Amino acid sequence: MVNIPNSPFTHPEMFQPDVMVEDNKWYSLGKMGKVRPLLFDVTNGGWVSILKAEGEGTIQKHRHASPVTAWTLDGAWGYREHDWVARAGSFAYEPAGHIHTLYIHPEAGRMTALFHVNGPLVYLDEKNEAVDYDDVFLRLDRYSKHCRDVGLGDEWVRSLIR
């Protein structure tokens, strides 16, 4: 047997209780809903967050440069370009390069899902021309501003960065 010790060079563990509590750690995505960031991976360019939305929201058509995984916690949602509908307990894997438009499925009128996004995404118009993009650093900038505005401060944001 070989003794394998903990490395002194790893990042600290992260534990966040009660992440579903509606508090000031969530920030608005406008009419689409709100998001609760859980982790910003600045080394690999990804993030983990919970998306919560109600009504008829959509996220503009986009293409991911890296894979995405999603676990549906509540409600129902899908991609306009696919036939499947994700409901509570569903898991989805999106390979890099897929183009899709997320929408809230009308059968539930709401959705809550945990997304692990492994890299940037590019927003597209109806001709699949790039019109905008998003990455971990833009998300960090937006969330940092939100946290300062609600009194959480940058220390809270730093605690989510790995």
Domains of the chain: 27-159 (2.60.120.10)
pTM over 0.85: yes
Which run of H or E residues covers position 69? strand 68-79
Q: How would you write the pLDDT of the chain (162 residues) with one tens digit per residue? A: 999 999 999 888 999 999 999 899 999 988 889 999 999 999 999 999 999 999 988 899 999 999 999 999 999 999 999 999 999 999 999 999 999 999 999 999 999 999 999 999 999 999 999 999 999 999 999 999 999 999 999 999 999 999
pLDDT at 152: 95
The residue with tokens 């699949």 is 128
pLDDT at 48: 99
Distances (CA, A) of 90 to 39, 71, 78, 85, 119: 22, 6, 11, 9, 22
The set of residues, in sequence order, having a beta carbon less than 8 Å from that of 134 and lying 6+ positions away, is: 62, 120, 121, 123
Cβ count near 127 (within 10 Å):
6
Written as one letter, the residue type at 12 is P
Q: How many residues are recorded in the chain? A: 162
